[in-house]
Homo-oligomer: A and B are copies of this chain.
Amino acid sequence: MVAACQVAPVLGDVEGNLARATGAIRSAAAQGADIVVLPELVTTGYVFTDAEELRPYAESVQGPALRAFATVAAELDVIVIGGFAESDESQRLRNSAFVVDATGVRAVYRKAHLWDNEVNIFVPGDELPPVIDSLFGRIAVVLCYDIEFPEWTRTAALRGADLLCVPTNWPATAVPPGERPEEVLHAQAAALANRMFVAVCDRVGQERGVHWAGGSAVIAPNGYPLALAEAGGAEQTLLSVCDLALARDKASNTHNDALRDRRPALYGLLTAPARQTALS
Q: A residues touching B (Cβ–Cβ < 8 Å)? A: 112-117, 119, 124, 126, 128, 131, 133, 138, 145, 148-152, 154-155, 157-160, 176, 179, 182, 185-186, 188-189, 192-193, 222-224, 248, 250, 252-256, 258-274, 276-280
Contacts and interface: CB of A to CB of B under 8 A. Distances in A.
A169 B249 CA distance: 24
The winner among A115, A131, A248, A274 for most chain B CB atoms within 10 A is: A274
A207 to B, nearest CB: 17
Contact of A138 (B131, B186, B262, B279): B279
**CB-based closest 3 A-B pairs:** A189-B189, A150-B150, A160-B278
A276 B260 contact: yes
Dominant SS among interface residues on chain A: loop
A127 to B, nearest CB: 8
A68 B71 CA distance: 72
A263 B113 CA distance: 8
B274 A271 contact: no
Contacts of A256: 115-116, 145
Contact of A271 (B128, B138, B270, B273): B270
A279 B159 CA distance: 8
A222 B175 CA distance: 10
A51 to B, nearest CB: 15
Nearest to A222: B182
A232 B148 CA distance: 33
B264 A272 contact: yes
Contacts of A192: 148, 182, 185-186, 189
Given A152-B267, A158-B278, 10 more contacts: A116-B253, A145-B256, A150-B151, A150-B193, A159-B269, A160-B277, A176-B224, A182-B222, A259-B277, A271-B271
